[in-house]
């Protein structure tokens, strides 16, 4: 199981590198690319939803949207039912860019498993879905995460204090 967690971490690190490379190739930052992805999958959304989904400050989203508008990838439109609000929408160029990025990603994922048995790919896909659900459920419980982290860090500190090498292996 430890090897599984290590390999999953390696996939996450590789995915982060991949996202940075894709964003750079498009000429935007990672947060801008993530915003395009949110707009593709969620449709027009208010800037406040981007604040929540991207985990960045409201002022940062304003600057991000300014950059996306300047690049011609997204625009702000008046909300159809709430005159006090705006929605962020993809432009045709933004839609083409983010859809192409996802197509390339899909092609790269398919290429990595094309020689695997279809049954193995289906099983692997199911396992990945279960891991994703478990991690999403855990992420939805920030207080439980904080408590677990605190308890384990305290426990690790107590073990290190008793270890004369303080965890150093020579």
Instruction: Report the 3 state secondary structure along 90-148.
Output: ECHHHHHHHHHHHHHHHHHHHHHHCCCCHHHHHHHHHHHHHHHHHHHHHHCCHHHHHHH
pTM over 0.75? The answer is: yes
> To the nearest whole number, what is the mean pLDDT of the chain?
91
**Domain count across the chain:** 1
Answer whether residue 145 is part of any domain. no
Answer whether residue 99 is part of any domain. yes
Distances (CA, A) of 125 to 23, 69, 91, 113: 26, 36, 32, 11
Here the CATH number for the domain that contains residue 105 is: 1.10.10.10
Answer whether residue 53 is part of any domain. yes
How confident is the model over 112-167, as pLDDT tens digits?
999 999 999 999 999 999 999 999 999 999 999 999 999 999 887 765 555 555 55
In angstroms, the CA 32 to CA 58 distance is 14
Answer whether residue 135 is part of any domain. no
Answer whether residue 76 is part of any domain. yes
Answer whether residue 158 is part of any domain. no
- Range of the structural domain that residue 108 is part of: 2-116
Bridge-partner residues for 86, per DSSP?
78
pLDDT of residue 169: 47
pLDDT of residue 155: 82
Is residue 71 exposed (0-12), middle (13-18) or buried (19+ Cβ within 10 Å)? middle
pLDDT > 50? residue 62: yes
Answer whether residue 143 is part of any domain. no
């Amino acid at each position: 199981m430890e090897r599984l967690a290590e390999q999953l971490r390696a996939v996450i690190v590789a995915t982060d590198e991949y996202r940075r490379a894709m964003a750079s190739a498009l000429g935007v930052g990672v947060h801008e690319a993530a915003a395009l992805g949110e707009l593709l999958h969620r449709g027009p959304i208010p800037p406040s939803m981007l604040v929540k989904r991207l985990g960045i400050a409201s002022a940062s989203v304003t600057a991000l949207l300014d950059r996306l508008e300047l690049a011609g990838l997204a625009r702000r439109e008046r909300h159809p039912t709430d005159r006090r609000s705006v929605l962020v929408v993809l432009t045709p160029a933004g839609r083409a860019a983010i859809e192409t990025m996802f197509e390339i990603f899909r092609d790269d994922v398919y290429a990595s498993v094309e020689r695997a048995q279809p049954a193995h790919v289906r099983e692997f896909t199911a396992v990945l879905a279960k891991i994703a659900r478990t991690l999403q459920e855990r992420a939805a419980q920030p207080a439980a995460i904080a408590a677990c982290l605190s308890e384990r860090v305290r426990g690790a500190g107590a073990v290190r204090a008793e270890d004369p090498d303080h965890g150093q292996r020579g």
